Amino acid sequence: MSDIFPKGSAWMNEEFIQLSEAKIPILDWGFLRSDATYDVVHVWKGRFFQLDKHIDRFFKSTEKLRMPCRFSHEKIKRILAGCVKKADLEDSYVEMIQTRGMSPNFVRDPRKATPRFMAFAVPFGWILRPEDFEKGLDVYLTDITRIPPSSIDPTIKNYHWMDLVTGMLDAYERGHHTALLVDEDNNISEGPGFNIFSVDEKGINTPDHGVLEGITRQTVFDLAKELNINVNKKSITIEMLKSSEELFATSTAGGVMPITKVSGENIKQGKVGDVTRKIHKLYWDKHLDPVWSTSINDILL
């Protein structure tokens, strides 16, 4: 099975194991009902970036789902660091997961289930590879409506991805890199695992509701403040999107990524803009700053 699984390591049931051994029962609510939450943090050059913020959001998600995590903040840190260490990775994508678990005798009451925590580390993965930065992303604008916040709280990181996966398939079949979904008012929402930012003469704009409050999204707010760039949280219409001076996406899987085309049509001249470049550079500069990042070795001391 080594040809299926990437290099990596996992943690379940109080022990570190091979990725191929990390399994949950078929009757786990996380598998059957997508009744789970998760968070993803990345490691760059042996340092976690914004680790505490990711764990804090994970705890908030488990609380909102009424299945509080039974582990401490420090224990989760050590589990995540241990996964990276066991996998011998310097740059890594690290995921923590909690499912509802399995209820005794498969009773339908989710309160009877015991939550299940697990984690894994694999090599760092990119939505946009560094060597493709100048080309940027070509994002397909779908007419798919993102699951509305009246149905599922978007601030809880979740696996309800069928709308996103459908968008990805539509994008791939048409030759684009990834997809962008709209909200119930036909304004711009988000993409599969990333937030969207539009740049115009008033500064940086990003949707103000119905999206995951990404850690990288918040990082952009903080970086923009350092750079004296105004940030506006507001609805972004399709017209605003297409007439933007610049567009970029943000995600743990890749950081700050320029979008140079929407559905194959250039944004401005189809080149990476100055604002995107400044934020992208400062974002990666912060990865070696101890205020923003944490050494794996320090956690495991």
Distance from the first to the final alpha carbon of the chain: 33
143 shares its domain with 105: no
- Evaluate whether residue 32 is within a structural domain: yes
Closest to 115 measured CA to CA, from 152, 76, 62: 62
Predicted structure pTM score:
0.96
> Which of 104, 123, 142 is a domain's end point?
123
Q: Answer yes or no: do 226 and 178 share one domain.
A: yes
**φ, ψ dihedrals at 162, nearest 5°:** -65, -35
Asked if residue 299 is part of any domain, the answer here is no
The per-residue DSSP string of 179-240 comes to EEEE-TTS-B--BTTBEEEEEETTEEEE--SSS---HHHHHHHHHHHHTT--EEE----HHH
How far CA 245 is from CA of 33, 169, 228, 274, 275, in Å, comes to 42, 28, 18, 10, 10
Distance CA 121, CA 261 (A): 32
Count up the domains in the chain and report the number.
2
Q: Does 301 fall in a domain?
A: no
Question: For residue 287, which of 247, 256, 249 has the smallest C-alpha distance?
Answer: 256
Residue 3's pLDDT is what? Answer: 79
**Residue ending a domain, choose from 89, 123, 157:** 123
Same domain, 118 and 135: no
Q: Report if residue 1 sits inside a domain.
A: no
User: Is residue 292 included in any domain, yes or no?
Assistant: no
Its domain, for residue 254, covers: 130-287
Do 180 and 98 fall within a single domain?
no
Do the strands 92-102 and 114-123 form a parallel or antiparallel pair, or are they unpaired?
antiparallel
Same domain as 135, residue 117:
no
Question: Same domain for 113 and 202?
Answer: no
Query: CATH number for the domain including 29?
Result: 3.30.470.10
Do 145 and 208 have their domain in common? yes
- The angle, 0 to 180 degrees and rounded to 10, between the axes of the packed helices 274-285 and 215-226 is 110
Q: Are residues 65 and 106 in the same domain?
A: yes
Put the strands of the sheet holding 47-49 in their side by side order.
15-17, 9-12, 114-123, 92-102, 36-44, 47-49, 293-295
CATH of the domain at 144: 3.20.10.10
Q: How far apart are CA 144 and CA 285, in angstroms?
A: 36
140 and 266 in one domain? yes
Residue 91 lies in a domain: yes
Clarify whether residues 119 and 175 are in a common domain: no
Q: Are residues 273 and 160 in the same domain?
A: yes
How would you write the pLDDT of the chain (301 residues) with one tens digit per residue?
567 999 999 999 999 999 999 999 999 999 999 999 999 999 999 999 999 999 999 999 999 999 999 999 999 999 999 999 999 999 999 999 999 999 999 999 999 999 999 999 999 999 999 999 999 999 999 999 999 999 999 999 999 999 999 999 999 999 999 999 999 999 999 999 999 999 999 999 999 999 999 999 999 999 999 999 999 999 999 999 999 999 999 999 999 999 999 999 999 999 999 999 999 999 999 999 999 999 999 999 8
Taking Cα atoms as reference points, which of 179, 145, 143 lies closest to residue 261? 179
